[in-house]
Structure 1
Amino acid sequence: MTTATTAGGPAAGTEPLVELDGVGKSYGNVRALHGVDLAVRPGQVTCVLGDNGAGKSTLIKIISGLHRHTEGEFRIDGAPVRLNTPREALDRGIAAVYQDLATVPLMPVWRNFFLGSELTRGPWPVRRLDIARMKRTADEELRAMGIVLDDLEQPIGTLSGGQRQSVAIARAVHFGARVLILDEPTAALGVKQSGVVLKYIAAARDRGLGVIFITHNPHHAFMVGDHFSVLRLGTLELSAGREEVSLEELTNHMAGGAELAALKHELAQVRGVDVEELPELEDLAERRPSP
């Protein structure tokens, strides 16, 4: 798998496009997220990692305007906001690409590219689809992202998983996204197709977008990430730049080093399990910061 691995894009280090300061979300008595700090800058990939139930989905919903935060401050371009709908987020340049991609498998690629935002021509009330312009624009935008498709008339469902993800990314960029949220884009893909998606994540960063890459795979995150935030049980366990953390440390935080150390101790009591062959994890409990 080959992707860009250099940290920082053309505008890395500038003021955040999106910033969370102690943000949390409660559903009645259930606290799904608490005290999360996050900064998304142009030309950088911010990776948010966590196991199932860590709070990644709640975080996505807050930033994309689906749910309102109940604590802390959410800022866009330095100004505090309380988004009420995904449309408000889109109007401010925040676009989310979910795992289902919001595509219609039997429709052509170009039609899916403009789904819900079709171009028309002619006078009202007999306006009609401007098919030629949509095909031309879709082809130009896909090629600008390095995506070359021989036939834009083919149903998007015939493309590979990596290609469909790439089309969704290019679509979001075309419609004005400044902050791109990618929800587990490589979760259901093989090694080769994951590489395709990671390449286009790097391409989006190089075009100056702020990318939020949600994943549970630390190896994928480390290939393209500039900053890493690890969520655990709704709180921020780790927040570190690329130069501050190694892949091994990132993997340990993601896996829950203290819990693995406790598991190794329990396995030592089981007959037939040779714990000496397992990695040394006892010191991880001391290295792991308090939530």
Structure 2
Amino acid sequence: MSDLVLSLRGISKRFGAVQALTDVDLDLRAGEALALVGDNGAGKSTLVKCISGVSPPTGGEIWFAGRPARLERPQDAVALGIATVYQDLALCDNLDVVNNLFLGRERRRRLGRFAGALDEIGMERSALDLLRTLAVSIPSVRIPVASLSGGQRQSVAIARSLLGDPAVVLLDEPTAALGVAQTEQVLDLIVRLRERGLAVLVISHNLADVFAVCDRVAVLRLGRNAGTFDIGSASREDVVAAITGADTAHGTGRAEVRSR
């Protein structure tokens, strides 16, 4: 198995009287796609916010590349090498693909010691190279994002997250509300992220998608670990039992933990 990149130990999160997460452990390795699944209210979104720096945990430790990390702001996660693509994508429909990719990190031509006009040609070339590397197919990088399909928009959002050269990419429900063809496009992109050596965490409700592209699946139930399964040896029934808390075939009442 590839090197461990991100490790969570005993992560807890409390909102007033509500305990959203309790002693959650999670490991994510380079070159693997790990699915995070669970019923509504299981704590998936809260855990993602802890990792992305949006809402720091109230207990536990986060380790990145073997070192303790403090993620108190989104900027901390980005600086460390953690990129997050949220379900709403945060794209500007009125801007073209190039300007969406470089929004907030625009490149400018140098005029002596001073920054000049936007380097539109350079940004366009970089956008084309990145999308070509990821095998993302769009009509043009100069058309408004509003005219793209759902799968193409998701691909642009994922591509934008890679401009900072992250080691970890968090994808929040990347195939939600997509058609069959669009879903296949995004799943292929997840495979290519793995092949680039990135550690990919996929938050999903769709077990078909999870079993199609992920290496392992971690289950949260009521804010706690409910099992981690190797896709190669686990069944969907195992995962569903962990999600719902149903008895397993062994009658233990808990999901059996399997790892490589």
1:200 maps to which residue?
A: 189
1:166 maps to which residue?
A: 155
2:94 maps to which residue?
A: 106
Separation in 2, partners of 1:114, 1:23: 34
2:232 maps to which residue?
A: 243
2:203 maps to which residue?
A: 214
Q: Which runs of 5+ in 1 are unaligned?
A: 1-12, 259-281
78 and 206 in structure 1: CA distance in 2 versus 1, 3 angstrom threshold? same
Separation in 2, partners of 1:91, 1:129: 24
* Contact 1:24/1:35, CA 8 A, preserved across alignment: yes
CA distances 1:160-192 after superposition (whole Å, capped 9, x unpaired) = 111111111122123211100000111111222
* Contact 2:33/2:202, CA 8 A, preserved across alignment: yes
How much does 1:125 deviate?
5.5
1:286 maps to which residue?
A: 251
1:217 is aligned with what amino acid? Answer: N
How much does 1:81 deviate?
1.8
Separation in 1, partners of 2:253, 2:231: 18
1:216 is paired with a residue of what secondary structure? coil
285 and 187 in structure 1: CA distance in 2 versus 1, 3 angstrom threshold? farther
Separation in 2, partners of 1:227, 1:127: 48
1:240 is aligned with what amino acid? Answer: F
Separation in 1, partners of 2:245, 2:121: 56
> Which of these residues, 57, 60, 71, is aligned with residue 72 of structure 1?
60
Separation in 2, partners of 1:183, 1:172: 13
How much does 1:33 deviate?
0.5
TM-score, L = length of structure 2: 0.92
Separation in 1, partners of 2:135, 2:128: 10
* Contact 1:257/1:284, CA 8 A, preserved across alignment: no
CA distances 1:66-86 after superposition (whole Å, capped 9, x unpaired) = 111112211111111221111
Q: Percent identity?
A: 42
Q: How does 1:72-151 map to 2 (within 5 A)?
A: 72-123=60-111, 127-151=116-140
Q: What number of residue pairs does the alignment pair up?
A: 255
The structure with the largest strand share of the pair is 2
1:127 is paired with a residue of what secondary structure? strand
CA distances 1:97-145 after superposition (whole Å, capped 9, x unpaired) = 0011111011111110111111111336662110000111001000000
1:243 is paired with a residue of what secondary structure? coil
Separation in 1, partners of 2:94, 2:205: 30
Q: Which runs of 5+ in 2 are unaligned?
A: none
149 and 283 in structure 1: CA distance in 2 versus 1, 3 angstrom threshold? closer
1:121 is aligned with what amino acid? Answer: R
Separation in 1, partners of 2:75, 2:16: 25
TM-score, L = length of structure 1: 0.83
Separation in 2, partners of 1:61, 1:285: 35
1:45 maps to which residue?
A: 33
* Contact 2:241/2:255, CA 8 A, preserved across alignment: no
2:170 is paired with a residue of what secondary structure? strand
Separation in 2, partners of 1:131, 1:84: 34
Separation in 1, partners of 2:248, 2:96: 54
1:46 is paired with a residue of what secondary structure? strand
1:251 is paired with a residue of what secondary structure? helix
Root-mean-square deviation over aligned CA pairs: 1.9
